[in-house]
Amino acid sequence: MTSNGPTPDRIMQLINGYWATGIVGAAASHSVFTHLECGADTAEDLAARAGISERGAQTVLDGLVSLGLVEVRAGRYANAADAAAFLVDGKPASLSSFARLKLGHAGMADLPDVVRKGGPLSDVVVEVKDNPHWKGVVTAIAAQSVPVAAIAAETLGLAGAGEISILDVGGGSGIYSAIWLRLNPAARSTQLDWRPINAIARELLADQGVADRFDCIDGDFHTTDFGTARYDVAVYSHIAHQEGPEDNVAIFAKLRGALKPGGTLVVNDYVVDDDRSGPPFALTFASEMLLKSKQGGTWRRADYHDWLTKAGFEDVSFQRTPSPATLIFAR
Ligand SMILES: C[S@@+](CC[C@H](N)C(=O)[O-])C[C@H]1O[C@@H](n2cnc3c(N)ncnc32)[C@H](O)[C@@H]1O
């Protein structure tokens, strides 16, 4: 029987979407992309290099081919271009530790109840003082900010900006400070985050040889004073999605006050089009915030424009990046 009507293929793939998380996470756990990049091109060779079973190697390779991350020609395997760029260990923008982190993602079975309730069922994951949740997350997500921080630096001309001072609110791993202080040897940076997270950031900044120009403020960014007219550039990266509208406006107003006249706020987040038709990653990520935060979500361009204007910024511009994130510059 032939039919030109719809088929269940796409729906079968979506229902089994957890296979993608599992296959990419398992491959990253065994450095499969790194071994392929170093020349392994058969299941047998990969198994020997990675110290895994040949049956397991063949199964993971089959899964990666189905996901489009590995290509097979005449029985020889190779990374697809995006896997080579973003899943090989040791590259600054490598997402392999993020892929391993996501293997342990819990809570999907709660989602129907979370959707009914409109928020997390019990332990709120993001709104907890000195939150241990972030310890496992911040270094794994740092790679996502590497290309974005470089683009923002280029747009703002940070490398040649001289003695600037930077404030990074919820800076996490310290990745923005690390990249920007290396680019500009006269810049100084201050990160506001929970104490245990700032300790992680100090290690990264020390590894990068720029710890002498990096300070930390330990505390809650809702209640901590940001100071007045102190900073040339401020960063708010991957924070707006965990906050509700009122808190975002309040924090943007504190950031406006902390910036010198003419200073720039850089917001980085998964920003939704005004008609909520895309981009796909930003639309999907809202479910993560429904599961894990009381008021978070992925916000529209119009929301950011409105909130930043209410907070006293006069010039707001958006820059899509070659990642799921959008940069917002406000002056
Ligand atoms: C998603 S991470 C973003 C890290 C970093 N900005 C980036 O883009 O890679 C969120 C960060 O905000 C911090 N954070 C969340 N709520 C906070 C609060 N109320 N006060 C201070 N820091 C907070 C977390 O500890 C974590 O480092």
Report CA(172)–ligand 1 centroid distance (Å): 5
Question: Which residues, listed in sequence order, are joined to residue 167 by a DSSP beta bridge?
Answer: 190, 234
- Ligand 1 atom 20, closest CA: 220
Residues with CB under 6 A from ligand 1: 131, 134, 138, 141-142, 145, 170-173, 175, 193-194, 197, 220-222, 237-239
Q: How confident is the model at residue 1 (pLDDT cuts 50, 70, 90)?
A: low
Q: What does the alpha-carbon distance between residue 245 and residue 234 come to, in Å, rounded to a whole number?
A: 19
Report CA(193)–ligand 1 centroid distance (Å): 6
> What's 124-330's CATH class?
alpha beta
Q: Is the pLDDT of residue 269 over 90?
A: yes
Q: Which residues of 115-142 are buried (b: 16+ CB within 10 A; e: fewer)?
A: eeeeebeeeebbbeeebeebeebbbbbb
Mind listing the pLDDT tens digit for each residue in 14-55? 999 999 999 999 999 999 999 999 999 999 999 999 999 999
pLDDT at 2: 61
Q: What average pLDDT does this structure show over 220-246?
A: 98
Report CA(108)–ligand 1 centroid distance (Å): 23
In degrees and rounded to multiples of 5, residue 124 shows phi and psi of -80, 125
pLDDT at 136: 79
Report CA(170)–ligand 1 centroid distance (Å): 4
Q: Is the pLDDT of residue 82 over 60?
A: yes
- In the chain, the percentage of residues whose pLDDT exceeds 90 is 92
For residue 279, is the peptide bond before it cis, meaning its omega torsion is within 30 degrees of 0? Answer: yes
Which helix or strand (DSSP H or E) is residue 106 part of? none
Which of these CATH numbers, 3.90.1150.10, 3.40.50.2300, 1.10.240.10, 1.10.10.10, describes 9-103?
Answer: 1.10.10.10
- Ligand 1 atom 1, closest CA: 238
- In the chain, the percentage of residues whose pLDDT exceeds 70 is 99
- DSSP 3-state assignment of 153? helix
Length of the chain (residues): 331
Burial class (CB in 10 A: 0-12, 13-18, 19+), 273: middle
Q: Is the pLDDT of residue 149 over 60?
A: yes
| Domain boundaries of the chain, sorted by first residue | 9-103, 124-330
Q: Is the pLDDT of residue 8 over 70?
A: yes
